[in-house]
Structure 1
Amino acid sequence: MRRFLPLPRLDRLPTAPQPVEGVFRYHGEVVPVLRLGVLLDLVVDGAAGGGETGLYAPLILITWQGRPTALLVDQVHGDVALPAEERLASDPSLSFNGCAAGAFPDRVTGRAGTVTLLDPDRLLSEAEGRLLDAFRAAEERRLARWEGAA
Structure 2
Amino acid sequence: MAEASQYVIFRMDDQLYGADIAVVREVSYRTPVTRLPNAPHYVEGVIDLRGEVMPIIDLRKRLGLPGRPADGDTRIMVLSAGGITAAVIVDGVEQVISIDADTIAQPDSSVAVAGQDYVYGVARMDGRLVVLIDLSRLLSIAVA
Rounded Cα–Cα distance in structure 2 between residues aligned with 1:90 and 1:97: 9
For 1:1-150, list aligned pairs within 5 A.
1-26=24-49, 28-43=51-66, 50-54=67-71, 56-91=73-108, 98-107=117-126, 112-123=127-138, 126=141, 129=142, 132-133=143-144
Rounded Cα–Cα distance in structure 2 between residues aligned with 1:125 and 1:3: 18
Q: Is the 8 A contact 1:60 1:73 kept in 2?
A: yes
Q: Is the 8 A contact 1:97 1:123 kept in 2?
A: no
Would you say how many aligned residue pairs link Structure 1 and Structure 2?
119
Over 3 Å counting, the alpha-carbon distance change for 1:75 and 1:83 in structure 2 is: same
Deviation at 1:4, TM superposition (A): 1.1
Q: Where does structure 2 lack aligned partners over 5 or more consecutive residues?
A: 1-23
**1:42-85 alpha-carbon deviations (Å, 9 max, x no partner):** 11xxxxxx233335520111124421111101112222122223
Rounded Cα–Cα distance in structure 2 between residues aligned with 1:124 and 1:12: 19
Q: Which has the larger radius of gyration?
A: 1
Instruction: Provide the TM-score with structure 1 as the length reference.
Output: 0.64
Q: Where does structure 1 lack aligned partners over 5 or more consecutive residues?
A: 44-49, 134-150
Deviation at 1:6, TM superposition (A): 1.1
Classify the secondary structure of the residue corresponding to 2:39: coil
Q: % of aligned pairs identical? A: 29
More strand as a share of residues:
2
**1:79-132 alpha-carbon deviations (Å, 9 max, x no partner):** 21222232222356856573101121022xxxx431111111332685xx4xx3
More helix as a share of residues:
1
Instruction: Provide the TM-score with structure 2 as the length reference.
Output: 0.66
Deviation at 1:30, TM superposition (A): 2.4
